[in-house]
Structure 1
Amino acid sequence: MEYSLADFKNYTKNHLLCENSDRLPQLIEEISSQIQFLQQNSKVLLAEREPVRFLASFIAAYTAGYPIFLCNPDWGNYEWQQVFDLVQPDIILASHLEMPATVTTNTNDPLPIPNSIMIPTGGSSGKIKFAIHNWETLAASVTGFRKYFQLEQVHSYCILPLYHVSGFMQFMRSFISGGDLVIQNFQQMEQAIYPNLQRFFISLVPTQLQRILQSSLSDRLAEFQTVLLGGAPAWSELLTQARTQNIRLALTYGMTETAAQIATLKPEEFLQGKTNCGKVLPHAQVTICNQQGNIKIQAESLALGYYPHIFTQPELTLDDLGYFDNQGYLNIIGRSSDKIITGGENVYPVEVETAIRDTQMVTDICVIGIPDPHWGQAVTAIYVPKSNTSATTLQTTLKAKLSKFKIPKHWISLTTLPRNSQGKINRQSLQQLALTLLQK
């Protein structure tokens, strides 16, 4: 379905509530005038920090037909240089950025698909990629979401960044369905919360959920219709606390490449005690392939490729490992690339991390494997302890929980672990840190 500039303006006028939302029509006109002289298929980098400027820029660029690259305004110089070298943009819509002098125009650079929407992924691994979407793939995700939850309208309360798929899809769901959209940052949410929360979906990552449960907003969170939780694995202590407070969590599984979730556990099932990823949404198909249990996805919402390359097959085989239980619920084990082989035995970090969290002796944990001349790899725990918890105490406690080969051989205590805005740990950074510390 084609949407006009008038459709977007009408929606934002009647359904959008965010700081300075009354300025949005004027901003759309200003940005439309700014970009109207660009050539067809000119590439637009969108890196606005303020939600109203982000939406105005997106609406102006999309309705003009330009390929749009959503960008994190807080990327550092190294990350921006990756983006500039890859995309070679024609214009940057960002109040705080300028085109670097090192960017050159490549006449052989392939043109993106017209009206495509490129969403960033892979930043935590050190290399930024853009998943190529268009309105049809994103709308397919919205259709699957509405069918799964049996909704005519989706009302969204967004505190996640709009450049990220989990924030941008909240806008898409509300716009396509004619629902209301509230956009606030975490500080605004703490100061004044929007009324009538019973109508709203809110999306969180585990670290945000933990912060809210420890704040004065904990009681208000239980008022939401549904709290979508994804972005990173949640730990059992956190889920138990949320269930105790009667928070209607919907555990999700999805990614940028699938335009957000393709499997979701409904909140009623979560409150009954289930902790898996739930059933697959109607717009997607998930297959467990090979003996390892790798997940293969086919979906109407699947990205068309990674810029500038198009997928040759309409499917995606992932590094993620999982299985379906006898009730048809999807369960995620971990990632094949994270698997640690120590003394010929396979160890999956998520199992060890869960056992360590369950001791309630740490506030954060990451388990990795580092090279070892005797074992091949040594299981290594990098953790943030509660009070004065020692590695010896943790090791002793784990003896009753895990097989001996799964108990970490090395323990590194830190004050904080590096996580991105979605709560995902930068394992690559921790791997380098562990090697440096243990070689001393």
Structure 2
Amino acid sequence: METPLKMDVKDVQRDWIVGFSGEAFSALVREQAARFAANDAVAERGVLLAESDPIRFSTAFFAGLSLGVPLILANPKWGSAEWAALSGLVNPAMIVGNMPMDTTTREGVHHPLPGQILIPTGGTTGGVKLAIHDWASLLAATRGLHDFLGGDPIHSSCLLPLHHVSGLMQLVRAFSTGGQIRFDEAVTAGYCVSLVPTQLQRSLSDAAAVERLRVARAVFVGGAALPEALAAEARKAHLPIVQVYGMTETAAMIAAVPAEDFLNRDAPGAAPLGEAKIGVDSDGGIRVRTPALFQGYHGREPIDLAEGFCTGDRGYLDERGGLHVLGRMDRLINTGGEKVDPAEVEQALLQIEAIEAAQVVGEPDEEWGEVVIAYLQSQSSLDTENIRQRLKEVLSPHKVPKRFKQVDAISACQAKSVG
């Protein structure tokens, strides 16, 4: 087996995390690496990172990279159903974060390989999936964006969680390009900021936030479709918006629209970053090839990536080769940049007494892009607040329906609102 590409722990010694000295951060990384190294099982079974504090997460992430041990990222806000699904996929030897997982050895669990970085993705159907990356694929993704931005160090103002690929890659970009990262929005001048459309919409209603974004080096907007009305408002405010397209499987961005094109052209297409190749199949499905592509999903059947990865999105290429994304080819709901598999929510609903049938759909919403709506069939009157609380125990908050509608029969969908 090829030796995994490691990160040299000496590289974290520079002052690159705003408000935290490089010397102090390096000491924390070395201490964490020593704790990992003292556990012989870590090299085989890996470390689970489910930490919401960015410094503690970053410390563990770089400690793991320096040793080449498997790293498994997880959302600290997952519900019990998601943790149960994860426990069937991995058996970490250590956990960073206070999470409900067992670290004792379990039989029948497929362990990740040395150097692998498993990143959770909500961009596919079928429950919890872990996209397999490594340090090389994350660096390949960084190079593509680094070249797109002109080759200068990338400074990041990170407002997204680090377990999410869009947050993680801000950390990787700042570290690997000689940039800086800050985990607040106090200063954005010269920094890159990543937002989902819902965050952008909220920022545009805040004059101070608009001024901060206006002086940013770039405001990356992705994770969901950017409504034209919102795009027009951002243009009017002269924000340096860089529309991006990407996913966990491509280590975030794989295509982007330069800010000048966004400001000067209507509905511009996104150009591939770095060595990425983007095509559209005969059925309209978008297919991508890139050195930053993942290796498959951990614990799942192997995927043939010889001809690239079919993203599950529909789109087309314009006369300039720019990519235009039209939507999903499956049932996934995109709410505020988070992906929701309706089948997963339906399964959780059907565990609740009195619910005979359930259908979960996405409905258009100005703030969220889409909101999750549940149609419920029952012969008795339903207590929607109780249903909501039951779902919060097993699902992430963004998967819990915003509204419930009781119907006589799911197929009829003649809904009357009950919550």
Q: TM-score, normalised by structure 1?
A: 0.73
Q: Residues 52, 149 of structure 1: CA spacing in aligned structure 2 closer, same or farther, 3 A cutoff?
A: same
Change (3 A) 1:276 1:307: farther
Deviates further, 274-283 or 135-144: 274-283
Which residue identity is paired with 1:152? D
Partner of 1:151: 151
- The answer to whether the Cα contact below 8 Å between 2:193 and 2:220 also exists between their aligned partners in 1 is yes
Equivalent position amino acid for 1:323 in 2:
Y
Q: Give the alignment partner of residue 316 of structure 1, picking from 306, 309, 315.
A: 309
How far, CA to CA, are the matches of 1:145 and 1:126 in structure 2? 30
Aligned to 1:112: 112
Instruction: Find the partner of 2:271 among 261, 276, 279.
Output: 279
Contact residue 156 and residue 170 of structure 2 kept, 8 A: yes
Counterpart position of 2:76: 73
Alignment of 1:6 with 2:10, yes or no, is yes
Does the C-alpha gap of structure 1 residues 293 and 176 become closer, same or farther in structure 2, counting only changes over 3 Å? same
- Establish whether residue 163 from structure 1 lines up as the match of residue 163 from structure 2: yes
C-alpha change, 1:303 and 1:18, in structure 2 (3 Å) is farther
Specify whether residues 19 and 124 from structure 1 end up closer, same or farther in structure 2 by C-alpha distance, changes over 3 A only.
Answer: farther
The structure-2 alpha-carbon separation of the partners of 1:110 and 1:261, relative to structure 1 and needing over 3 Å to count, comes to same
Q: What is the alpha-carbon distance in structure 2 between the residues aligned to residue 286 and residue 214 of structure 1?
A: 35
| Change in CA separation of 1:433 and 1:336 when aligned onto 2, cut-off 3 Å | farther
CA distance in 1 between partners of 2:34 and 2:261 (Å): 50
Give 1:60 shift. 1.4
Q: Which moved more, 1:300-309 or 1:116-125?
A: 116-125
Give yes or no for contact 1:276–1:332 (8 Å, CA) kept in 2. Answer: no
Instruction: Give secondary structure in 2 for the equivalent of 1:282.
Output: coil
Alignment of 1:205-354 (within 5 A): 205-215=196-206, 216-290=208-282, 292-309=283-300, 310-314=302-306, 315-338=308-331
Unaligned runs of 5+ in 2: 343-358, 368-390, 392-396
For 1:433 and 1:125, how far apart are their aligned partners in 2? 23
Paired position in structure 1 for 2:370: none
Mapped to 1, the partners of 2:403 and 2:277 lie a distance apart of: 34
Task: Give the aligned partner of residue 175 of structure 1.
Answer: 175
Q: Which one is further off, 106-115 or 133-142?
A: 106-115
Cα contact 2:318–2:324 (8 A) shared by 1: yes
Q: What one-letter code is carried by the residue in structure 2 that aligns with 1:17? A: V
**Deviation digits for residues 327-362 of structure 1, max 9, x if unmatched?**
2211111112249xxxxxxxxx99xx9xxxxxxxxx
Tell me by how many angstroms 1:439 deviates: 5.5
Superposition pairs of residues 10-21 of structure 1, within 5 angstroms: 10-11=13-14, 14-18=15-19
- CA shift for structure 1 position 105: 3.3
- The code of the aligned residue for 1:217 comes to A
- Distance of 1:232 and 1:131 partners within structure 2: 19
**Alignment match of 1:64 (pick from 64, 67, 75):** 67
Indicate how the Cα distance of structure 1 residues 65 and 383 shifts in structure 2: closer, same or farther if over 3 A, else same: closer
Residue 132 of structure 1 is matched in structure 2 by 132
CA distance in 2, matches of 1:146, 1:383: 35
> Would you say the 8 A contact 1:253–1:277 is kept in 2?
no
- SS at the partner of 2:110? coil
Q: What is the CA distance between 1:98 and its match in structure 2?
A: 4.6
- 2:63 corresponds to 1:27: no
C-alpha distance in structure 2 between counterparts of 1:319 and 1:253, whole Å: 13
Q: Which residue in the other structure is 1:356 paired with?
A: none
Residues 277, 156 of structure 1: CA spacing in aligned structure 2 closer, same or farther, 3 A cutoff? Answer: farther
Q: What SS is found at the alignment partner of 2:262?
A: helix
2:86 aligned to which of 79, 83, 86: 83
Once residues 258 and 231 of structure 1 are traced to their aligned partners in structure 2, the CA distance between those partners, rounded to angstroms, is 13
Contact 2:6–2:66 (8 Å) recurs in 1: no
Q: Distance in 2 between matches of 1:257 and 1:384?
A: 27
* Count of paired positions: 358
> Structure 1 residue 273: deviation in Å?
2.8
Instruction: Report if the CA contact (8 A) 1:18-1:183 is conserved.
Output: no
Change (3 A) 1:169 1:433: farther
Structure 1 runs, 4 residues or longer, greater than 6 Å off: 19-22
- Which one is further off, 126-135 or 429-438? 429-438
3-state DSSP class of the match of 1:322? strand
Q: Supply the distance in 2 between the matched residues of 1:263 and 1:288 (Cα, whole angstroms).
A: 14
Could you report, residue by residue, the CA deviation over 1:276-307 in whole angstroms, capped at 9, with x for unpaired residues? 441111221111112x2111111110001100
Instruction: Mark the runs of 5 or more structure 1 residues left unpaired by the alignment.
Output: 340-348, 354-365, 369-377, 387-417, 419-423
| Alpha-carbon distance between aligned partners in 1 of 2:128 and 2:18, rounded to the nearest angstrom | 31
**Bigger relative contact order, structure 1 or 2 (CA pairs below 8 A, ≥6 apart):** 2
How many angstroms apart in 2 are the aligned matches of 1:21 and 1:208?
31
Distance 2:6 2:87 in 1: 30
Identity %: 31
- Counterpart CA distance in 1 for 2:63 and 2:305 is 32
**Closer/same/farther in 2, CA of residues 296 and 73 from structure 1, 3 Å limit:** same
What residue number does 1:97 align with? 99
**1:50 corresponding residue in structure 2:** 53
2:330 alignment partner, SS class: helix
Describe the shift of the 1:198–1:385 C-alpha distance in structure 2 as closer, same or farther (beyond 3 A).
closer
8 Å CA contact retained: 1:117, 1:132: yes
Q: How far 1:2 sits from its partner (Å)? A: 4.3
